[in-house]
Structures are given as C-alpha cells and as structure tokens.
Chains A and B, each alone.
Chain A
Amino acid sequence: EIVLTQSPGTLSLSPGERATLSCRASQSVSSSYLAWYQQKPGQAPRLLIYGASSRATGIPDRFSGSGSGTDFTLTISRLEPEDFAVYYCQQYGSSTTFGQGTKVEIK
C-alpha cells in the first residue's frame, strides 16, 4: 500500500499570503492518479485538483498543483478567507489512499 505523508500538519497564515502544501508518497505515483481535496468543518471533501495539476470544474486559478513521482505540491497563491480548511492528497494505485491532511488556519 502506498502511504501519503502530508506536511506540514498545520499551516498558520494570513489572508493574502501564499500557501504551499506538500504530499510525499512512499513509492512512485502516476501523476494521473494524484488528486487534492479541500474539506471544511461539517462538509464533505471537494475535489480541487486531479492529475496532479488539473483544476476541477469551478476551482479558482489561485489553486495550482504540481509534482511527479513521489513529491507533489498544492499551492494557493493568495489565501482568501474561504480557503482556510483541511486539504488532503489522494492516490490511486492497486488501492486508494489519502494523506493525513494539512490544516490551513488563520494566523
């Protein structure tokens, strides 16, 4: 099973700042099978990025994804108040796994 490790666990930033979230895989993951989700309290996760770098429908362009192999990054260029949430990466291999999440909180 591929383990995804996200860092940092918590990111304390102010609105307008840039957020950089990391997702590291225990073995190589096809970029096509790497996705990112946003989850707010009491809500279901929402798809942000698929294929490591493609934005899902309706996702603002301040969200971007990059990476390949074992290292992937989600970047939020300028944090808006509604972006403070928990973010998960996910991979599809023989089994599907999620990272443990990164919480982006208001500083």
Chain B
Amino acid sequence: QVQLQESGPGLVKPSETLSLTCTVSGGSFSNYYWSWIRQPPGKGLEWIGYIFYSGSTNYNPSLRSRVTISVETSKNQFSLKLSSVTAADTAVYYCARDSRAITMVRGINYYYYYMDVWGKGTTVTVSS
C-alpha cells in the first residue's frame, strides 16, 4: 500500500526558504504525478504544484515565482522549495499522489485526474 510522508523544518524565518521532502513508499514512483497542497490554519486547500516522475512541473500561477518542485527518483522522493516566505505561508503542507487514469468506453479514451493518496501533512510556521 502506497504511503507518503512529509518531512522538513516546522519553523522557518520570514524571508527565508521553506524546504520540504515527501518520501513515497510501498508502491511505484514512476509514471505518476506528485503534488504539493497546503492548508492555512482554519482555511481551505490550496494546490501548490506538481511534478511528473520524469521531472516536468506545473505550478499554481499565484505561487509560481517562489516555488520549485524537484524529484529524486532514486530515493522515491520529491521536494518543495518556497522562497521569501511570510506569515501567510504558515500552513499544513501535504504531499499527494496525483493520479491520471484512462478508461476506454466504446473505443473512446476517458482520462480521469484525482489525488488518491495523501501524506498526513506537516505543519510549517513562519515566524522570527
């Protein structure tokens, strides 16, 4: 059974760079997309970005200038870097498997996108 585990510092100073790693175990790392999502205290979910196992990325436009997601396939890990953090970046950060499924019905391919496996989340506080 696939499991994801986030790791990294729980406290980051303003203007510094937040760095987190997600380790995938119990299943395949290849041929999947892997996402980062965050949730500020008492608020909803915000998608940060994803990386394909081969390294291609897509980022939330609102965070693009500050976000870098990278992958290390030999370790079944992917990482998040968020630069120039402020208090507004305080949140629970989740990593998730971002699946793409294909079903053929009457000769037509239907593609389905969804996040089906999530890590437990890690709290990051931005404070001096």
Task: Say if A and B assemble together.
Answer: yes
**Residues on A facing B (Cβ under 8 Å):** 1, 32-33, 35, 37, 39, 43-47, 50-51, 54, 56-57, 88, 90, 92, 95-101
Query: Would you call the interface of chain B mostly helix, strand, loop, or mixed?
Result: strand
B contact residues vs A (CB 8 Å cutoff): 35, 44-47, 50, 58, 60-61, 94, 96, 101, 110-116, 118-121
B118 contacts A98, C-beta separation under 8 Å: no
Q: A43-B120, A100-B44 are in contact. List 13 more A-B contacts (CB 8 A).
A: A33-B113, A35-B113, A35-B114, A45-B45, A47-B114, A50-B114, A51-B112, A56-B114, A88-B44, A88-B45, A95-B47, A96-B35, A98-B45
Question: In whole angstroms, what is the CA distance A92 to B85 when docked?
Answer: 26
A101: chain B residues at CB < 8 Å are 44-45
Which residues of chain A are within 8 angstroms of B94 by Cβ–Cβ distance?
Answer: 44-45
B47 contacts which of A33, A43, A50, A96 (Cβ < 8 Å)?
A96
Q: Are A98 and B46 closer than 8 Å at their CB atoms?
A: yes
- A50–B119 CB distance below 8 A: no
Contact present for A1 and B44 (CB under 8 Å): no
Closest 4 CB pairs of A and B: A50-B114, A44-B118, A96-B47, A92-B113
The residue in chain A whose Cβ has the minimal distance to the Cβ of B113 is A92
Q: How far is the CA of A95 from the CA of B44 in the complex (A)?
A: 17
Question: Given A44-B94, A44-B120, A45-B118, are A51 and B47 also a contact pair (CB < 8 Å)?
Answer: no
Determine the chain B residues whose CB is within 8 A of the CB of A45 once the complex forms: 45, 94, 115, 118
Which residue of the partner chain, among A1, A35, A99, contacts B115 with CB atoms under 8 Å? A35
- Return 10 A-B CB contacts under 8 Å, by A number: A1-B61, A32-B110, A45-B115, A45-B118, A46-B118, A56-B116, A90-B115, A95-B58, A96-B60, A101-B44
